[in-house]
Amino acid sequence: MPTPALRRAWPACARGLTALALCAATALAQAVQVDLRPEQPGPVIARHIYGQFAEHLGTGIYEGLWVGPHSPIPNRRGWRIDVVDALKALKVPVVRWPGGCFADEYHWRDGIGPRDQRPVRVNTNWGGVAEPNAVGTHEFFDLVEQLGTEAYVNGNLGTGSAQEMSEWLEYMTSDGTGTLARQRRANGHEAPFRVHFFAVGNEAWGCGGNMKPDYYANLYRQAATFLKAPRGNRPVLVASGGNGEDLAWTEVLSREVKPNLMQAISHHRYTLPTDSWSKKGAAVGFPEAQWISTLVVPQKIDANLAKHREILDRNDPKKRIGFYFDEWGSWYDPEPGTNPGFLVQRNTLRDAVLAALHFHVFHKHAERVRMTNIAQMVNVLQAMVQTRQDRLVLTPTYHAFEMHVPFQDATFVPVVLQDNPAYARDGMEMPQLSASAARSADGRLVLSLVNANPRDALELDLRVGGQAARAVQGRVLTAAAMDAENGFDQPAQVLPRPIEARVRDGRLTLSVPAKSVVVLTVEP
What residues make contact with ligand AHR under the rule CB under 6 A? 55, 99-101, 202-203, 327, 375-376, 381
Least Å distance, CB 191 to ligand AHR, is: 31
Whether the upstream peptide bond of residue 98 has omega within 30° of 0, thus cis, is yes
Least Å distance, CB 126 to ligand AHR, is: 8
Looking at beta carbons only, is 103 or 449 nearer to ligand AHR?
103
Least Å distance, CB 341 to ligand AHR, is: 10
Pairing of the two strands 236-239 and 264-271 = parallel
User: Measured between alpha carbons, how far is 479 from 317 in angstroms, rounded to an integer?
Assistant: 45
Least Å distance, CB 133 to ligand AHR, is: 18
User: Measured between alpha carbons, how far is 49 from 44 in angstroms, rounded to an integer?
Assistant: 11
Side-chain half-sphere exposure of 436, counting CA atoms within 13 A: 25
Looking at beta carbons only, is 26 or 250 nearer to ligand AHR?
250
From 203, 251, 402, 485, active-site residue: 203
Looking at beta carbons only, is 49 or 375 nearer to ligand AHR?
375
Least Å distance, CB 102 to ligand AHR, is: 6
Can you state the angle between helices 162-173 and 137-147, rounded to 10 degrees? Answer: 50
Which element (helix H / strand E) includes 295? helix 288-295
Whether the upstream peptide bond of residue 100 has omega within 30° of 0, thus cis, is yes
Least Å distance, CB 99 to ligand AHR, is: 5
| Chain position whose Cβ is nearest to ligand AHR | 100
Question: Residue 217, SS3?
Answer: helix
Looking at beta carbons only, is 238 or 381 nearer to ligand AHR?
381
Phi–psi pair at 228, nearest 5 degrees:
-105, 145
Burial bucket for residue 260 (CB in 10 Å: 0-12, 13-18, 19+): exposed
Would you say how long the chain is, in residues?
524
Question: Cα 483–268–520 angle (5° rounding)?
Answer: 50
Side-chain half-sphere exposure of 437, counting CA atoms within 13 A: 27
Least Å distance, CB 38 to ligand AHR, is: 37
From 131, 251, 327, 402, active-site residue: 327
Looking at beta carbons only, is 192 or 273 nearer to ligand AHR?
273
Does 170 qualify as catalytic in the annotation? no
Report CA dihedral (162, 167, 173, 174) to the nearest 10 degrees: 130
Residue type, 486: N
Whether the upstream peptide bond of residue 376 has omega within 30° of 0, thus cis, is yes
Closest by Cα among 362, 485, 330 to 93: 362
Least Å distance, CB 391 to ligand AHR, is: 24
Neighbouring CB atoms inside 10 A of 144's CB total 22
User: Measured between alpha carbons, how far is 9 from 179 in angstroms, rounded to an integer?
Assistant: 73
Residues facing 92 on adjacent strands: none
Looking at beta carbons only, is 51 or 99 nearer to ligand AHR?
99
Residues with a known catalytic role: 203, 327
